[in-house]
Amino acid sequence: MLPSLHTDDLHADELADRIADLIAELGDTPDAIAHHLAEAGVTGRRADATCCPVANYLRRAEPCITDVDVYGDTIDAWTVTGVLAHVLAPDEIHEFVTLFDTQRYPHLIGAAR
């Protein structure tokens, strides 16, 4: 896993790059993403942009992120200092979220955060 960012002088583009890097680590197919999340012990709630497994993974992987909304095709993340990053999610994240919300990966359904 990549080292955490420092929030003192963090810019939105740095946060967006960090999110893109973390997302890339998950894999390039919905099944690979599900496997990586399961291996990491990350779960979430279906149809909940703030507490899906991808959102929970991002908060866990990057402590400076306090809030995340994963809408499938976009990811919005905020830091403790109020920095907002808006990231276009790759197709495999959109596909994973869609499949997760339709119960394709029931082993990833669990408590929020």
- Whole-number average pLDDT of the chain: 92
* In contact, 71 and 51? CB cutoff 8 Å: no
| Residue 30 within a domain | yes
| Residue 41 within a domain | yes
Around Cβ 89, how many Cβ atoms within 10 Å?
20
91 Cβ neighbours under 8 A, 6+ residues apart: none
d(CA 105, CA 19): 23
Exposed/middle/buried for 95, CB within 10 Å: 0-12, 13-18, 19+? middle
Residue 45: which domain range? 12-100
Compare 110 and 2 and report the one with higher pLDDT.
110
* In contact, 36 and 102? CB cutoff 8 Å: no
| Residue 1 within a domain | no
The structural domain count of the chain equals: 1
Residue 87 bridge partners (DSSP): 75
Stretch 2-30: mean pLDDT: 85
pTM for the whole structure:
0.91
| Residue 44 within a domain | yes
pLDDT tens, 17-57?
A: 999 999 999 999 999 999 999 999 999 999 999 999 999 99
The two structure tokens encoding residue 73: 């095709």
